[in-house]
Amino acid sequence: MTWSTVLADVLIGVGAGLILLAGVGVVRLPDVLTRANAATKATGLGLAAILGGVALAVGTTRAAVVLGLAVVIQLLTSPVSGHVIGRAAYRSGAPLWQETHTDDLGPHYRGGGPA
């Protein structure tokens, strides 16, 4: 085993672990906003780690460029999609978690935000 194979295996394992944690967060967290946060952050980093590990395992320049581009696209689009999902849920009146004490958007929307 070479150092690149070991590093690729570690990156793929870490990425799979992050994606697993994101799945657990989506199932266990209490409201849409926290679920969207878990889904976008952990899966974005997890997929980046997996693709980095695959690029390292393949070992060609073409694979590194293509998978690096996929990582950049993932890291650019995942937070935007999480924001859009959270905003749509908030504007549609999805209930916030009962332990949420601060609602900074409430005063900016007609009717003071969700009930």
**Do 94 and 31 meet the contact criterion of CB atoms below 8 Å apart?**
yes
**pLDDT value, residue 110:** 57
- Residue 104 in domain: no
Read off the pLDDT band of 23 (50, 70, 90): very high
Q: What is the mean pLDDT of residues 22-26?
A: 92
94: Cβ–Cβ under 8 A, 6 or more apart, which residues? 31, 32, 114
- Above 60 in pLDDT, residue 115? no
- Residue 115 in domain: no
**Do 9 and 51 meet the contact criterion of CB atoms below 8 Å apart?**
no
What is the extent of the structural domain holding 82? Answer: 3-96
**pLDDT value, residue 111:** 54
- Residue 51 in domain: yes
- Residue 70 in domain: yes
Tokens for 68, please give them.
């690096």
Cα separation, 39 vs 103, in Å, equals 21
- Residue 56 in domain: yes
**Do 96 and 103 meet the contact criterion of CB atoms below 8 Å apart?**
yes
The H or E element spanning position 91 is: helix 61-91
**pLDDT value, residue 98:** 84
Number of domains in the chain: 1
Read off the pLDDT band of 60 (50, 70, 90): very high
Tokens for 90, please give them.
């908030």
**pLDDT value, residue 97:** 85
Cα separation, 13 vs 66, in Å, equals 21
